[in-house]
């Protein structure tokens, strides 16, 4: 029985020179076991369902056994972490096993996270712990369920081998899947080392593999920048629309394909708080919810700077001017994607000049008043006539809602929208269920006692976040008071 019959052992990225990566063999874990797997991702990769429960499956996705002559690689990159440039980072605990092409012709990189030391581990041990792998596994698949571009996750395997963090924890390996794991930081690495030939090789690789239309542009590298700006603006707008906060938006955690990558101390808003900080290590709130759009621009500026020698290798100022012109489009692109997404959440079909103010007034009314996800889901019940007690009673200060409701009511009247049809549209874009941190915590606590049932429950629930799922109603409740005491850091 072959688990990944279509696995190509040498990835396309490995066609680049050896100094772009290092070949590394995974370090085995003792007596590994399967914690959980994603049926959706297994189907995409055409994995035989019967193989999933076999010891071979667990061995392969722990790194204890290699398939088809696999030659795993760890890639090198650098990046800006909390605004400061770090000259060398890299895959300190991640190895790309190979690639699989699915039925649609999409090629997926298969990556083990937590499979042992690499040359880029620095002071780390190359391992992941059960706690952090559960967090990334569930959020990867939850974001896919929300329709947000993301790396995916195939499975978690665990072991009783000990790993030292703030306390002794058990080891685990996450199998992560993405069309590419290339980051902004890959470009920064070669730029800051003034290895411009290598920078060009990398940019040409990305264009040829992922942005072929850019090759036809007058300036392919400038067009590449524009395409990444567009994808990043769209991605961050999607984050904001569901109240998702990444927590560590370093430039090395930004995907060149506009995917959500590297789930650490993330969080979905509970109470609507603009300056929500989910990362306990982020003392200055650099990566707060309301800062994410501007941090996106900062990271794009880092990428743009790295591309300058390619945009114009004869005139640095001309290159900077051209790059800046592209960067200037970010804010309007972000606003366009965000406001259109908010119109969808509010059930609005037409574009009107005052829509930006309508949205701003809503968030001003919601600030520190209501649960983000629950309010938007309930908003589909808004009555154009009536007092909307179901909605206003959610507010600590109901008058805030009343004032905004008058504006919203008038806006709906402009469209002469059909209430029943509007409700249906709103429920298709306003999720009932999101992966709140207390839900993940509850699953982790059970998993640490070898009960993986809650992981399966959440995985099933969050693949259909817009469906009512009456039997799962409690998962859409207000978070318990103890949820406010949870603290997440970069080690999460």
**Spatial contact of 140 and 454, defined as CB atoms under 8 Å apart:** no
Task: Give me the pLDDT at residue 116, please.
Answer: 96
CA distance linking residue 160 with residue 165, whole number of Å: 15
Task: Give me the pLDDT at residue 384, please.
Answer: 87
Q: 178 pairs with which residues across the strands?
A: 109
Is 252 a known active-site residue? yes
Q: For 6-56, how does the pLDDT look when each residue is reduced to its tens digit (9 = 90+)?
A: 888 889 999 999 999 999 999 999 999 999 999 999 999 999 989 999 999
Cα 48 from chain centroid (whole Å): 27
CA-based radius of gyration for the chain: 23
Of residues 112, 121, 103, 152, the one with CA closest to residue 257 = 152
Task: Give me the pLDDT at residue 492, please.
Answer: 58
pLDDT band for 389, please (50, 70, 90 cuts). confident
Say what the pTM is: 0.96
* Average pLDDT over every residue of 262-284: 95
Q: For 86-137, how does the pLDDT look when each residue is reduced to its tens digit (9 = 90+)?
A: 999 999 999 999 999 999 999 999 999 999 999 999 888 999 999 999 999 9
| % of the chain beyond a pLDDT of 90 | 91
CA distance linking residue 398 with residue 404, whole number of Å: 10
Q: Which of 88-97, 386-395, 450-459, 482-491 has the lowest mean pLDDT?
A: 482-491
CA distances from 327 to 193, 232, 333, 336, 355 (A): 24, 11, 10, 15, 25
Task: Give me the pLDDT at residue 1, please.
Answer: 45
* Token pair belonging to 453: 């049932």
CA distance linking residue 201 with residue 195, whole number of Å: 10
pLDDT band for 370, please (50, 70, 90 cuts). very high
Catalytic residue (choose from 223, 252, 282, 371) = 252
Task: Give me the pLDDT at residue 7, please.
Answer: 87
* Token pair belonging to 327: 């960067």
């Amino acid at each position: 029985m072959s688990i990944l019959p279509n696995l190509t052992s040498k990835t396309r990225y490995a066609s680049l020179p050896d100094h772009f990566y290092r070949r590394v063999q995974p370090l085995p874990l003792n007596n590994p076991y399967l914690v959980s797997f994603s049926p959706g991702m297994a189907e995409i990769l055409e994995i035989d369902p019967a193989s999933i429960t076999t010891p071979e499956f667990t061995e392969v996705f722990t790194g204890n056994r290699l398939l088809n002559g696999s030659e795993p690689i760890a890639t090198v990159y650098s990046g800006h972490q909390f605004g400061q440039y770090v000259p060398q980072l890299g895959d300190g605990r991640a190895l790309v096993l190979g690639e699989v092409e699915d039925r649609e012709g999409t090629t997926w990189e298969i990556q083990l996270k937590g499979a042992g030391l690499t040359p880029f581990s620095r002071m780390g041990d190359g391992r992941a712990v059960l706690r952090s792998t559960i967090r990334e596994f569930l959020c990867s698949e939850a974001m896919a369920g929300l329709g947000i571009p993301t790396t995916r996750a195939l499975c978690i395997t665990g072991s009783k081998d000990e790993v030292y963090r703030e306390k002794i924890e058990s080891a685990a390996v996450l199998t992560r899947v993405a069309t590419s794991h290339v980051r902004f930081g890959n470009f920064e690495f070669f730029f800051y080392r003034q290895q411009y030939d290598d920078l060009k090789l990398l940019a040409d690789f990305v264009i040829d593999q992922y942005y072929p239309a850019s090759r036809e542009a007058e300036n392919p590298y400038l067009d590449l920048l524009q395409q990444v700006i567009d994808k990043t603006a769209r991605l961050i707008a999607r984050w904001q629309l569901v109240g998702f906060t990444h927590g560590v938006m370093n430039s090395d955690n930004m995907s060149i394909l506009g995917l959500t990558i590297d789930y650490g101390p993330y969080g979905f808003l509970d109470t609507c708080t603009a300056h929500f900080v989910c990362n306990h290590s982020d003392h200055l709130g650099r990566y707060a919810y309301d800062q994410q759009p501007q941090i996106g621009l900062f990271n794009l500026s880092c990428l743009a700077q790295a591309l300058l020698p390619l945009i114009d290798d004869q005139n640095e100022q001309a290159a900077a001017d051209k790059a800046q012109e592209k960067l200037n489009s970010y804010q309007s692109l972000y606003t366009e994607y965000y406001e259109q997404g908010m119109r969808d959440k509010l059930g609005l079909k037409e574009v009107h000049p005052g829509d930006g103010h309508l949205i701003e007034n809503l968030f001003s009314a919601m600030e520190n008043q209501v649960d983000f996800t629950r309010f938007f889901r309930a908003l589909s019940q808004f009555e154009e006539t009536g007092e909307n007690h179901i909605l206003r009673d959610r507010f600590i200060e109901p008058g805030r809602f009343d004032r905004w409701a008058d504006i919203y009511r008038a806006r709906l009247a402009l469209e002469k929208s059909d209430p029943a049809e509007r409700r249906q549209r709103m429920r298709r874009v306003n999720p009932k269920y999101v992966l709140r941190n207390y839900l993940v915590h509850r699953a982790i606590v059970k998993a640490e006692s070898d009960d993986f049932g809650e992981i399966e429950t959440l995985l099933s629930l969050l693949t259909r976040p817009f469906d009512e799922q009456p039997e799962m109603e409690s998962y859409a409740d207000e978070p318990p008071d103890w949820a406010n005491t949870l603290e997440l850091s970069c080690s999460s």
